[in-house]
Amino acid sequence: MEVLQFLLTNGKSMKKISSKDGTTIAYETLGQGPALILVGGALSDHKAPPAGIPLAKHLAAHFTVYCYDRRGRGGSSDTLPYAVDREVEDIAALIERAGGSAYLYGMSSGAALALFASRNNAAIKKLALYEPPFVGGGQGEKYIMRLKELIAANRLSAAVALFMKTVGMPSFLIPIMRLTPMWSKLKELAPTLLYDALIMGDGTLPEHLEEIKAPTAVITGAAKRMSDAADTLAQKLPNARHQVLNGQTHNVKPAVLAPALIEFFGATV
């Protein structure tokens, strides 16, 4: 009850900052303590459970948690043409707003973005990544070109369905999801699927991992494919460890993930 009361009285309404290229980035903060920025993945805004407000509520007793809408999502604006470096600048703007240094956590393709933002960046004190999908295959240029075609034609439902099929969702579930209330929200976010595709490229490990000096936790559920990829990534990073959360999937439960983040970032549970 004390934690609930703390959250009710300390949650703040969304604020906005300008990134380097003038794009408006909307964010919300919860809690108190060292700054921790959460970076969501595909089809996610600042309310998404694995990297948004639901996770922040489990962390707010230990950190000032920054939940933000990546460019093109929710309350944030967008500036074309898109480039991954612009999203790195968005994270840098949030770190500056947070006082010049922060912990950084990313989920899925947001973990890949957090990885890029951490190259030679001393302002990022520690880095935690949940299942960055560097498993190779399934995307690449063909997927990117098809996404571009669908988005340009405003076929946003088809773009969402393509993404779901590409990441391995069973085909029979996609028509069912189209009938749910969440589908309209997914359609709103569909144009940003191209951004996550460009971040991930062909799904193989990025270059220059030696430039990431921050202590890093690569966290996964128990799925072997993701766990093996995390092992490979952790071995190539200068200062990383791999942690498995048994019983978890890619849609990790915030209540299970939060203690691992609290322990890694150095607070007392």
pLDDT digits (tens, 9 = 90+) for 57-68: 999 999 999 999
The mean pLDDT value for 202-223 works out to: 94
The secondary structure element, H or E, covering residue 65 is: strand 64-68
> What's the residue count for the chain?
269
Q: Residue 10 above 80 pLDDT? A: no
What's the CA gap between 91 and 72, in Å, rounded? 14
Q: Cβ(130)–Cβ(111) under 8 Å? A: yes
CA proximity to 71, closest of 201, 205, 194, 202: 194
Q: Cβ(44)–Cβ(119) under 8 Å? A: no
Q: In whole numbers, what is the pLDDT of the chain averaged over residues?
A: 92
pLDDT of residue 7: 36
What's the CA gap between 86 and 97, in Å, rounded? 17
The mean pLDDT value for 81-97 works out to: 98
> What confidence tier does 269 reach under pLDDT thresholds 50, 70, 90?
very low
CB atoms within 10 A of CB 18: 12
The mean pLDDT value for 82-109 works out to: 98
Q: Cβ(26)–Cβ(68) under 8 Å? A: yes
Q: CA separation (Å) from 99 to 7, 33, 86, 96? A: 22, 12, 20, 5
pLDDT of residue 136: 79
What's the CA gap between 101 and 139, in Å, rounded? 34
Place of tokens 């309209």: 184
Please give the CATH number for the structural domain made up of 2-136+205-265: 3.40.50.1820
pLDDT of residue 11: 41
Q: Residue 97 above 70 pLDDT? A: yes
pLDDT of residue 137: 64
Q: Cβ(197)–Cβ(146) under 8 Å? A: no
pLDDT of residue 13: 73
pLDDT tens digit string along 100-158? 999 999 999 999 999 999 999 999 999 999 999 998 765 678 999 999 999 999 999 99
Pairing of strands 15-18, 102-107: unpaired
pLDDT tens digit string along 14-40? 999 999 999 999 999 999 999 999 999
pLDDT of residue 140: 79
> Where do the domains of the chain lie?
2-136+205-265, 140-196
Q: Residue 267 above 80 pLDDT? A: no
Q: Residue 1 above 50 pLDDT? A: no
Say if pTM beats, i.e. exceeds, 0.95.
Answer: no
What's the CA gap between 145 and 176, in Å, rounded? 26
CA proximity to 53, closest of 108, 8, 116, 111: 8
